[in-house]
């Protein structure tokens, strides 16, 4: 798997990423990123307006680890559950060991009474880098289609 | 196509499987499984609690064939329609001719008046086996996120 | 990339196609089709009944270009936004430089107040052709599961 970035590796990375979140294996989640990285959750409106910030903003893996710790402490209430579905990725630029990609996503929320509804949709704007035989996110910007994303803070995208 | 199991073959298997169901080609559906197999539809809650059973339980292909026969007899009412969307698969262990995989799914239901809503979401926990140039399910456990799955019995997942 | 059609190329084609629409890059959209093509949006009910027509019908790329022009002129109201998620494709017949494929799709709609709901689901019935190192649609029939598709006319599928 070392060497060139392929569509297959991008597919595997995205599948593993949402699997990690949906299994609530959040302690593993920061390992999908480089130490020096950029992880942002924002809205399409803010992204289009050129705002660099977002509902969530982290530029080191350490900040992502802190975020997981905070999530774990905050979860005194029982969580609703979520399911991420990622669509098919597009590779926009592929430099061999680094690639820019876009992947659409959809998140559904399952309430305690079993009702399921669409919670969020959007697109990941990514820069992926090959590190040995693994791919890591150098940058992952989750651009949500809806501006109603404050409640998203309970889980990463 | 014979030989090693690849991500591409897992993608093709999952695509063909939901295509079969959504085309209502249920008579072909049991052929996706080995003779001796395990097919279970259950809820995340029951799965986490370690219950082996589920809303649907079959451990031979013959039981799947019986199930299709029963579905055909029961369908005296006109059916609502469903659309399965499978997300990107993850290969957890790949032994060459057998592999363990996970694939998230989403099912939407289309009512007679045209209204469409999310019906179910969850994840397939699979063991796939290469048989000649085909892949078959040795095990497929459809774990639904919601516990409200009794009405799912009208169609397989 | 020239030469044989592979599942990977079909995945890349479908990903690029919905990305084009969701980025509102509609001027590029006709370039996904051959000059002489068939693009139809129809309902499962009409498709099953054998009606060749549909809510949208075009059999040249020129008609697709006209359609984009019309869309741009009509959009005096601010648009709602949409997100397409395509599922995993199935290759039904692969003749090397031409292939028949099916790919399920799901479209969610995001209202101005941020509410997101399932808008449409269905399946693309495609004939793809390799032209140099690109794949183009010779035929793309978007069969919507629901018969309520008149409002779909605001955007292509």
Residues on chain B touching A28 (C-beta within 8 angstroms): none
Rounded alpha-carbon distances, angstroms, from residue A24 to A155, C64, C86: 9, 45, 25
Looking at residue A78, its pLDDT comes to: 58
Contact of A1 with chain B, judged by CB distance below 8 Å, is answered with no
Span A39-87, pLDDT tens digits: 999 999 999 999 877 888 999 999 999 999 988 887 655 568 899 999 9
- Residue C115 banded pLDDT, cuts 50, 70, 90: confident
Which residue has 């996110």 as its token pair?
A: A137
Tokens of B80: 């609502």
Over 50: is that where the pLDDT of A1 sits?
no
For C46-57, b where at least 16 C-beta lie within 10 A, e where not — what string?
Answer: bbeeeeeebbbe
Strand partners, C106: C85, C121
Interchain contact, C16 vs A90, CB within 8 Å: yes
pTM value is 0.94
Residues on chain C touching A7 (C-beta within 8 angstroms): 8, 11-12
List the single residue in A90, A121, A122 with the smallest CB-CB distance to C19: A90
Nearest C-alpha of chain B: how many angstroms from A81? 7
- Give me the phi and psi of A14, to 5 degrees please: -65, -40
C-beta separation of B118 from A117 below 8 A: yes
Rounded alpha-carbon distances, angstroms, from residue C103 to A2, C36, C46: 31, 22, 19
Span C124-149, pLDDT tens digits: 999 999 999 999 999 999 999 998 87
Please, where are the H alpha helices in A23-142? 44-48, 61-74
> B40 CB contacts (<8 Å, ≥6 apart)?
B52, B53, B54, B56, B57, B58, B140, B141, B142
Contact of A7 with chain B, judged by CB distance below 8 Å, is answered with no
Contact of B7 with chain C, judged by CB distance below 8 Å, is answered with no
Interchain contact, A108 vs B118, CB within 8 Å: yes
Which residue has 């599928």 as its token pair?
A: C157
Polymer length in residues for chain A: 157
Over 90: is that where the pLDDT of C151 sits?
no
Dihedral sign from CA coordinates of B136, B89, B28, C140 = negative
Looking at residue C77, its pLDDT comes to: 56
Residues on chain C touching A42 (C-beta within 8 angstroms): none
Q: Which of B157, B71, B81 is nearest to B120 (CA)?
A: B157
Looking at residue B97, its pLDDT comes to: 94
What's the average model confidence in pLDDT over C103-131?
94
Span C55-108, pLDDT tens digits: 889 999 999 999 999 888 876 555 688 999 999 999 999 998 999 999 999 999
Q: Which residue on chain B is closest to C88 by alpha carbon?
A: B15
ipTM comes to 0.91
Per-residue pLDDT of chain B (157 residues; tens, 9 = 90+): 457 999 999 999 999 999 999 998 999 999 999 999 999 999 999 999 998 778 889 999 999 999 999 888 876 555 688 999 999 999 999 998 999 999 999 999 998 888 899 999 999 999 999 999 999 999 999 999 998 876 556 678 9
Q: Which residue on chain C is closest to A43 by alpha carbon?
A: C114
List the single residue in A88, A106, A116 with the smallest CB-CB distance to B145: A116
How far is it, in rounded angstroms, from Cα B78 to Cα B20? 19
């Amino acid at each position: 798997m070392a060497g060139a970035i392929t569509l297959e590796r991008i597919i595997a990375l995205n599948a593993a990423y949402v699997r990690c979140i949906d299994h609530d294996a959040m302690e593993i989640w920061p390992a999908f990123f480089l130490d020096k990285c950029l992880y942002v959750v924002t809205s399409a409106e803010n992204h289009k307006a050129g705002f660099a910030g977002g509902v969530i903003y982290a530029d080191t893996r350490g900040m992502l680890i802190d975020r997981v710790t905070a999530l774990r402490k905050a979860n005194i209430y029982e969580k609703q559950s979520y399911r991420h579905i990622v669509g098919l990725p597009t590779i926009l630029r592929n430099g061999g060991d680094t690639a820019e990609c876009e992947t659409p996503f959809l998140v559904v929320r399952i309430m305690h009474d079993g009702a399921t509804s669409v919670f969020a949709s959007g697109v990941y704007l990514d820069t992926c880098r090959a590190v040995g035989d693994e791919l890591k996110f150098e940058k992952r910007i989750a651009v949500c289609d809806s501006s109603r994303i404050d409640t998203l803070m309970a889980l990463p995208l």
